[in-house]
Amino acid sequence: MGTRTADGTGAAAERDETAVDATETDGVATEQEAGPATEPEAETEAETEAEPLATGAGEGPSGVGQGAAAVVSAALGLVSLTGSWLGTVAAARETLVGQLEVTADAGVATQVEEMYGDAWNTSAMWGGVFALTALVVGALVLARPAFGTPARAVQAPWIKSVAWAGVTLGVIGLLLAVLKYTGVLLGLPDAG
């Protein structure tokens, strides 16, 4: 491993086992590497290990967009059931417009319809818009693998589950919005 110089000072010249040995044959110096692997073999092993990484990186999309769309679909479906800020503001605006349009001598049925009926229908309409959007986005996420590259046709199970949740919430929200808008579900009281 190390050799001492002739003067005994302890200065050592290190020689590594994998270092290159120089030997002379007939006045010509040749280099010989100690160790089992030669340099070209080491490069080939490194290239082989790096090759799967390079091909894995260029396969295609990772499904992040589909996952995000599935989550958006489920969130929109939930908003369609619980109500949204936009629906609340639109309903309050319709209530204000109804108050401005109704006259003091109008009948009770007209006052109820103008002040509360239109606001109720506006709230139902915005719930239906969110439900329909959730339904369409969820359906597009579920249908996406059929229109993609054949190698990437497999979708992560959680993406399918969340997309199905968005579609289901969208259908329920749309059904409730239609029932609310038509007055079948929680219709206005009869003020006649």
Residue 155's pLDDT is what? 77
Residue 127 CB-half CA count within 13 A: 25
pLDDT in tens, 90-146: 888 888 888 787 777 777 777 777 778 888 888 889 999 999 999 999 999 888 877
Task: Name 4's bridge partners.
Answer: 12
pLDDT in tens, 41-70: 555 554 545 444 444 444 555 678 888 999
Asked if 14 and 3 count as a contact pair (C-beta separation under 8 A), the reply is: no
**Coil, helix or strand at residue 74:** helix
Residue 178's pLDDT is what? 93
In the predicted model, what is the mean pLDDT of residues 77-81?
A: 91
Asked if 170 and 131 count as a contact pair (C-beta separation under 8 A), the reply is: yes
Specify the higher pLDDT residue, 32 or 164.
164
Residues in CB range of 158: below 8 A, 6 or more apart: 67
d(C-alpha 1, C-alpha 33), whole Å: 16
Neighbours of 141 (CB within 10 A): 26
Counting Cβ atoms within 10 Å, is residue 20 exposed (0-12), middle (13-18) or buried (19+)? exposed
Specify the higher pLDDT residue, 171 or 118.
171
**Coil, helix or strand at residue 8:** coil
What is the residue type of 88? T
CA 166, chain centre distance (Å): 14
d(C-alpha 88, C-alpha 93), whole Å: 9
pLDDT at 170 over 90: yes
pLDDT in tens, 8-29: 555 444 444 444 455 555 555 5
